[in-house]
């Protein structure tokens, strides 16, 4: 009896898919637990900093020196952060050191405790990628390394933000601008949902704010959405561009990392104190809340958050770029809404999603972020705004090692 070669190959491929799917569930469980611990401790440290801001902010430069010391003596390749994840995906590097997990977590806690303006998802993504990639040597098949990176990115993002659909799409499209990595869709989905449910069940709270708007799409409204998309796209791209240029400028100006982080850390202590007594420190979740709850949002809030986050991350402090982009987009949207005669919370939501999409050069992820956080009935509006945001120089991203399709 002859052997059907095609059926045999399909059987082998399906067995690989089954095995990697099982591993993906385990990855999701592990990453969800780590995300929960990281997120809850970060929230506790944030609350402590807000209560004792004036006692902590003068020592931001010392926290920076400690971060540089730790990475200098124990980090190895981990110092590359997100760039290492992209390098492994492109086979410029082979492994992600497991030491990256505690180093990234602890250094981000330090950054937030002492008032640096930064996000948190960068750590979650790096940790997810590192833990997931550790499984890849067990599976000897083509693209196993890349597949487990994608699985880990999705798990890290989903475990922290509890937006599994957006996390799946973010992981599938972030490695290469303009390409969707659908070959790992099933295991990536399993990892993302497992991580999201795990962190949620263990007590990590997520942000949701359902928005109900009653409007009929017409040519005038479409033009408003287009203009908002272009503005949000320009801001997201500007954030990515300034982050890249400022990092390079500081590296060239201050050859020694200790000197760089000490001088910029002292400057940040002054600026963060003068600009609202820590209003722009850490995640600045109060600004996000104000944008959706008719709180006080100043016309310059989005710009101050942008500049101070660029300085913090360029100096060498740890954290992430996504949460600051959410804040920048939400506060900018709250400022623009009256000019466009649209509901404030609604435009803040559009900015929340589309500045993130523009800054990371992703398209589907921000649309689904909008749906999962603000309500899926608003998806058509997010789609239009993100479409126009994405036309603004999408090759510039907060991730310097991100590739672009030919």
Distance CA 322, CA 70 (A): 24
Residue 206 has pLDDT above 90, yes or no: no
The helix (H) or strand (E) run that includes residue 176 is strand 176-177
Can you give the pTM of this predicted structure? 0.94
Residue 395 has pLDDT above 80, yes or no: no
pLDDT at 231: 98
Confidence at 23, pLDDT banded by 50, 70, 90: very high
The helix (H) or strand (E) run that includes residue 403 is strand 403-404
- Considering only 36-45, 68-77, 173-182, 204-213, which range has the smallest mean pLDDT? 173-182
Half-sphere exposure (CA, 13 Å, Cβ side) for 230? 5
Distance CA 150, CA 143 (A): 11
- Considering only 106-115, 273-282, 391-400, which range has the smallest mean pLDDT? 391-400
pLDDT at 13: 59
Going from the C-alpha of 263 to that of each of 255, 259, 336, 387, the distances in angstroms are 12, 6, 35, 40
Enter the tokens of residue 175: 């490695």
| Mean of all residue pLDDT scores within the chain | 92
Closest C-alpha among 332, 43, 78, 342 to residue 217 = 342
pLDDT in tens, 27-73: 999 999 999 999 999 999 999 999 999 999 999 999 999 999 999 99
Residue 143 has pLDDT above 80, yes or no: no
Distance CA 203, CA 148 (A): 26
Confidence at 142, pLDDT banded by 50, 70, 90: low
The helix (H) or strand (E) run that includes residue 229 is helix 219-253
Confidence at 9, pLDDT banded by 50, 70, 90: very low
> By the 8 A CB rule, do 187 and 24 touch?
yes
Helix %, strand %, coil % of the chain (to 5): 75, 0, 25
- Considering only 37-46, 206-215, 290-299, 382-391, which range has the smallest mean pLDDT? 206-215
> By the 8 A CB rule, do 162 and 204 touch?
yes
pLDDT in tens, 297-356: 999 999 999 999 999 999 999 998 999 999 999 999 999 999 999 999 999 999 999 999
Closest C-alpha among 275, 277, 260 to residue 306 = 275
Q: What percent of the chain has pLDDT over 90?
A: 75
CA dihedral of residues 373, 359, 40, 267 (deg, nearest 10): -140
Which domains are assigned to the chain?
A: 11-202 (1.10.3080.10), 219-404 (1.10.3080.10)
pLDDT in tens, 249-270: 999 999 899 999 999 999 999 9
């Amino acid at each position: 009896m002859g052997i059907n070669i095609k059926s045999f190959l399909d059987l082998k491929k399906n067995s690989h898919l089954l095995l990697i799917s099982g591993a993906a569930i385990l990855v999701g469980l592990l990453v969800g637990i780590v995300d929960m611990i990281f997120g809850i401790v970060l929230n506790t440290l944030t609350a402590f900093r807000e209560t004792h801001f004036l006692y902590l902010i003068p020592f931001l430069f010392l926290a920076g020196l400690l971060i540089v010391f730790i990475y200098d003596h124990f980090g190895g390749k981990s110092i590359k952060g997100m760039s290492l994840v992209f390098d492994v995906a492109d086979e410029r590097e082979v492994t992600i050191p497991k030491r990256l997990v505690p180093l990234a977590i602890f250094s981000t806690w330090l950054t937030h405790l002492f008032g640096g303006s930064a996000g948190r998802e960068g750590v979650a993504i790096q940790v997810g990628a590192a833990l997931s990639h550790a499984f890849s040597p067990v599976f000897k098949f083509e693209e196993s390394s890349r597949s487990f990176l994608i699985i880990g990115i999705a798990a890290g993002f989903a475990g922290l933000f509890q937006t599994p659909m957006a996390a799946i799409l973010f992981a599938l499209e972030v490695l290469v601008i303009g390409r969707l990595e659908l070959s790992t869709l099933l295991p990536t989905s399993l990892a993302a949902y497992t991580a999201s449910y795990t962190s949620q069940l263990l007590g990590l709270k997520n942000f949701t704010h359902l928005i109900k708007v009653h409007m009929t799409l017409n040519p005038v409204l479409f033009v408003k959405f287009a203009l908002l998309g272009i503005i949000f796209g320009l801001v997201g791209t500007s954030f990515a561009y300034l982050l890249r240029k400022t990092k390079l400028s500081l590296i060239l100006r201050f050859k020694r990392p200790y000197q760089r982080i000490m001088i910029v850390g002292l400057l940040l202590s002054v600026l963060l104190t003068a600009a609202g007594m820590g209003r722009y420190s850490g995640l600045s979740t109060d600004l996000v809340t104000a944008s959706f709850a008719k709180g006080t949002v100043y016309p310059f809030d989005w710009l101050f958050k942008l500049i101070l986050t660029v300085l913090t991350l360029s100096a060498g402090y740890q954290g992430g770029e996504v949460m600051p982009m959410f804040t920048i987009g939400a506060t900018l949207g709250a400022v623009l809404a009256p000019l466009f005669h649209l509901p404030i919370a609604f435009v803040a939501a559009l900015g929340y999603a589309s500045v993130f999409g523009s800054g990371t050069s992703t398209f589907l992820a921000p649309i689904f972020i909008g749906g999962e956080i603000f309500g899926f009935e608003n998806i058509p509006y997010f789609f239009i705004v993100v479409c126009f945001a994405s036309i603004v120089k999408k090759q510039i991203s907060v991730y310097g090692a991100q590739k672009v399709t030919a």
